Amino acid sequence: MRRINVGDLRLAIRQEGSGDPVVLLHGFPELSYSWRHQLPVLAEAGFCAIAPDLRGYGDSDRPTGVAAYAVPALVGDVVGLIDALGYPQVHLVGHDWGGGLAWATAALHPERVRTLTIANAPHPTASAEARRDDAAQRAKSWYMLLFQFVGVAESWLANDDFRNLREMVFENAAPGTFTPDDVQIYLDAFSRDGALTAALNYYRANMPAAAWLRPPPQLPDITTPTMVIWGEADSYLGLGLLKRSCAKVRAPVRVERLPGVSHWVQQEAPELVNALLIDWLRAAG
């Protein structure tokens, strides 16, 4: 890994291979390590694969204050990373929160995104719409309200050797998805001072309780060719979000539904995700 200046902070990145650039954005509560199965395969296929620890995560800078984690700053990091790496455009891939940032980046800066690949992540507007008028999705999103309670949410996740975080992530995937070494890498990262708070600030800055009562935020339609990979056994995101998200795309969109696969799709079904990703990227020319 190395650290790279991106605007007023530094992001830690993993980079493998050479060729057309593919930037992969992780989610909550994860790390660039979440793309460990994709980076070497993309490199072998002739791409330059780049995965950052997002702002506040892992070895990247961890600014203080909730406002530092608002979407405009996070999207600025993505564009700043593309600039710092010297690319006019990249293939952009995102999962979970990283997928939300990928959606927003493609909407606001379409000239910087050659193709968009989303793995189990709703379009931000679709997500807000569903929390307002889809009772089943509201129930699945319960944790977003818990995460608003400063100190309480951190303790809830970390107490008893991260029992609740373990249940939300590692025990929520198919057996064997995460090895004991994998689990320890994540837990070590979130044991650092301020790491859990930084990760939770993504929710506090962008999904405060009051936001559930306001009209959904609006973004320009997606005009970038898009592939959506969706594990259908996602405990947190219902299939209704997939339909709503695809409706925000005004470009060719390819949907790949993976029956029986959980939210942690690229880690649980890496060979299938890798094959889909390489086929999609090669077809882009």
Catalytic positions, written as ranges: 96, 203, 263
Measured distance between the N- and C-terminal CA atoms of the chain, rounded to whole angstroms: 28
- For 67-149, strand residue ranges (E) read 90-95, 113-119
Contact status, residue 84 vs residue 6, Cβ threshold 8 Å: yes
Helices 71-85 and 97-108 cross at an angle (nearest 10°) of: 70
- Which pair of structure tokens corresponds to residue 49? 């694969």
Q: Angle at the Cα of 192 (from 189 to 194), degrees rounded to 5? A: 115
Maximum Cα–Cα distance across the chain = 50
Residue whose C-alpha is closest to residue 74's, from 6, 154, 125: 6
d(CA 159, CA 152): 10
d(CA 278, CA 274): 6
φ, ψ of residue 253 in degrees (nearest 5): -130, 130
Element housing 240 (H / E): helix 239-246
Instruction: Identify the three-state secondary structure at position 47.
Output: strand
